[in-house]
Structure formats: C-alpha cells, structure tokens
Structure 1
Amino acid sequence: MKRTAEFGLGLAGGILGILFALAGVFFGEVAQSLAVEEGGLVAGLSWIALLFSVLGIIGAVLVRKKTVLASILMLVAAIGGFVCISFFYILPGILLIIAGIMGLVRKDKGLPE
C-alpha cells in the first residue's frame, strides 16, 4: 500500500514540530536572557522536542516499508514532544498521532484478513 496519507501527515507533523521546537528554544533563550528562572529548562526541553520531531520524520519516511515500526515511532514522537513542550506541540502532536494510528489500523488492500 502506498501509505501516502500517513507519510504526508507524519512529515507535516515532524516539520511543524521542528519549527515549534525552535520557537520554544527561542522563547526559552529570551526568557533566560531576561533572568527568568525556568528559561533554561524551557530551552532544554525544546531541544529534546526537536529530537522527537526528527524521530517523527524518520517514522514518516519508514512508513511505506516498515509500517508498524514507523507508526510506533510517530506515536512516541507525538507523546514525547507533547510532554516536553506541551502547548507548543499540540498541532504537530495531533498530526503525528493521526498518522501513527492510521498506520496501525489501516490494512493493506489485497491481503486476506
């Protein structure tokens, strides 16, 4: 099966996740420069969310060959990114969760059940 929907949603979620994580890094660094207590923590967690976004992109790329593994990677990326930077990761997280669930639930055409 082509798995185009899962690929597109996963790729979009991963790219948006990278952009939002970089925005979190920016806000964390600005807060740190303004001597806000948790600014460094926000920046650090945003870097980790960026790594989860890359994991989501890897899952999107693998979805056509290893569907179950790729779907699990996208779900882990969505949950991990949301845990790290919560509000900033809502849209990428939703896209990655939808792609991951579709990858796990959809069956290939032509294969007996």
Structure 2
Amino acid sequence: MDEVQSGSRTAELVLGIIGGVFGLIGATAALFLGAGFNVDSAMTGGLFSILFSIIAIIAVVFISKNPKIISIVLILSALVIFITSGLFGFLGAILILIAGILGLVRK
C-alpha cells in the first residue's frame, strides 16, 4: 500500500478555514433563529458552535507545528459544531472533519 506523501498542509489549512467560516455562518443562523423564537437551547448551541468554530480556525493555523494533536482538536470541534448547531453547521462541520482526518492520515 502506498504511503501518503508528506508535504505542506495547504489542504488542511484551506478546508479548516473555510469550514470554520461556514461553521460561524451556520452558528450565527442558529443563534438568531433561537433568539427569534426565544429558544434557549438553540441560543446556547449557537454560542457553543461559534466558540468551537473560532477554536477550529485558530487551531488549523498551527496544523504544521503539531499535526496529530491539532487534527484531534479539529475532529472534536467538528463533532461539537454538528451536535450543537445541527443542520445549520453541517457544511462547516464536514469541512473541518475532513481537514482533521487529512491531518491524521498524512505523515
């Protein structure tokens, strides 16, 4: 089986940043939808999604320094974003998850 070539982490960086931005957009939508309908759980979920989207964006910048730990942080952030914002954060969570998996697979 061929091993994945090591090299730059551009794919993880781009996917992580784009996923974080989409996560922020989805979390903001969930936050305002929750505020509009006065649903506390949606507002809390939106705030957690915003927090973990920002964590994912900051973490992905350091992907080349320690790729294994940052990849685990990205995967956990993706799971939290998907759980807390539901379908609003789906696209962002998927992109962050792919970036995290790529970081783990590459050597």
Q: After TM superposition, is the score higher than 0.5?
A: yes
Any gaps of 5 or more consecutive residues in structure 2?
Answer: 1-6
Contact kept? 2:26, 2:85, Cα under 8 Å: no
SS at match of 1:2: coil
Q: State the Cα distance separating 1:59 from its structure 2 match.
A: 2.0
1:26 maps onto 2:26 in alignment: no
* TM superposition outliers: structure 1 runs of 4+ over 4 Å: none
Q: State the Cα distance separating 1:95 from its structure 2 match.
A: 0.3
By relative contact order (CA 8 Å, sep 6+), the higher-ranking structure is 2
Any gaps of 5 or more consecutive residues in structure 1?
Answer: 33-38, 108-113
Q: After superposition, where does 1:28-43 map in structure 2 within 5 Å?
A: 28-32=34-38, 39-43=39-43
TM-score by length of 2: 0.90
Q: Distance in 1 between matches of 2:45 and 2:94?
A: 19
Larger radius of gyration: 1
Deviation by residue 1:40-79 (Cα, 9 ceiling, x = unmatched): 2101111011111111112211111111111111101100
The sequence identity of aligned pairs, in percent, is 37
Deviation by residue 1:18-48 (Cα, 9 ceiling, x = unmatched): 111111111011001xxxxxx1210111101
The number of residue pairs the alignment matches comes to 101
* 2:12 corresponds to which of 2, 6, 11: 6
Q: After superposition, where does 1:46-85 map in structure 2 within 5 Å?
A: 46-85=46-85
Q: Distance in 1 between matches of 2:93 and 2:14?
A: 14
Contact kept? 1:59, 1:69, Cα under 8 Å: no
State the superposition RMSD in angstroms.
0.9
Deviation by residue 1:73-110 (Cα, 9 ceiling, x = unmatched): 11011001111111111101110111000000012xxx
Q: Distance in 2 between matches of 1:89 and 1:79?
A: 10
TM-score by length of 1: 0.85
Contact kept? 1:58, 1:70, Cα under 8 Å: no
Q: Distance in 1 between matches of 2:50 and 2:12?
A: 20
